Amino acid sequence: MKCFLDQKILITGASSGIGKLMAEAFAAEGARVILWGREQAALEAVGKELTERGMRCASYLCDVSRRDSIYDTAERVIREHGPIDILINNAGVVSGRPLLEISDAEIEQTFDVNALAPIWTTRAFLPTMIERGRGHIVTIASAAGLIGAPRLTDYAASKHAAVGFNDALRSELRHLGHRGIRTTVVCPYFISTGMFEGATAATPLFPVLTPDYATRQIVRAIRRGRRRLLLPRAIGVVFLARLLPAPVFDWIARALGVTRSMDGFRGRRSG
């Protein structure tokens, strides 16, 4: 079991959704949370709320779609707070439209935030974790990182990249002997934070998750040092189905309703 008391936990995308809820959960257990977000008013509101409740937090404006912003802000965090214990790459964006209806700039931003930002933040904070011989890197990916769906071409591709990054990083850290540094990848189905407003449950096996439930499960997985968290567990069926011939896999996706799940999408773009 992991105790979060006095742990320095940095969360990207912390001004709303499960980022905000995770910050509240960790701070309530005595952690010193460091919040990153790109919307100043929302970020300040979260920081003020936590501070007024007697919790320890610090807020930093950071646009994780920009590598220089990540590196500059990370340098400032380390200078002002020292090494962090847990890095949670949570920020994400989604376009939710067919491939030919998305602009080049939107596709690039999806990859900048969902796929590249976790790499840049890890490169920024991993050296101090290695020096101390301990740390935990958490990647909030998606079930879309395991199975694609219509209107999620850029999003699914970016989340597949995030899952692949986590898997390779976990292997690399072990191979290089850095066994004190853990990684966790989280692959949830849609969470009702507003980011996927209008998306539907593909099947009773894959319900739309409530933010509170998702947050509790993620916090528990980090506490226990789990390497992979699938929400719900039935998402694990996808791992097995991918071993089947593509036509059979596609039939299963249609039968489960995965291909229709984004038909009613109208949600906000970032979270």
What is the C-alpha separation between 112 and 10, in angstroms, rounded? 19
What is the C-alpha separation between 269 and 93, in angstroms, rounded? 5
- Would residue 71 show up in a list of annotated catalytic residues for this protein? no
> Residue 8: phi, psi to the nearest 5?
-95, 115
Residue 157 token pair: 């591709």
Residue 19 token pair: 């980022």
Alpha helices in the chain (DSSP H): 17-28, 40-52, 67-81, 104-111, 117-132, 153-175, 211-224, 236-241, 246-255
Rounded (10°) CA dihedral 39, 144, 267, 99:
100
Residue 199 token pair: 């998306």
Cβ 193 vs Cβ 17: under 8 Å: yes
* Catalytic residue from among 71, 155, 189, 213: 155
Running DSSP on this structure, what letter comes out for residue 148? Answer: -
* 81 Cβ contact list (under 8 Å, min separation 6): 8, 32, 34, 58
How many other C-beta atoms lie within 10 A of the C-beta of residue 225? 12
In sequence order, what DSSP letters do the residues of 22-66 get, joined into one string?
Answer: HHHHHHHTT-EEEEEES-HHHHHHHHHHHHHTT-EEEEEE--TTS
* Helices 117-132 and 67-81: angle between axes, nearest 10 degrees: 30
Catalytic residues: 155
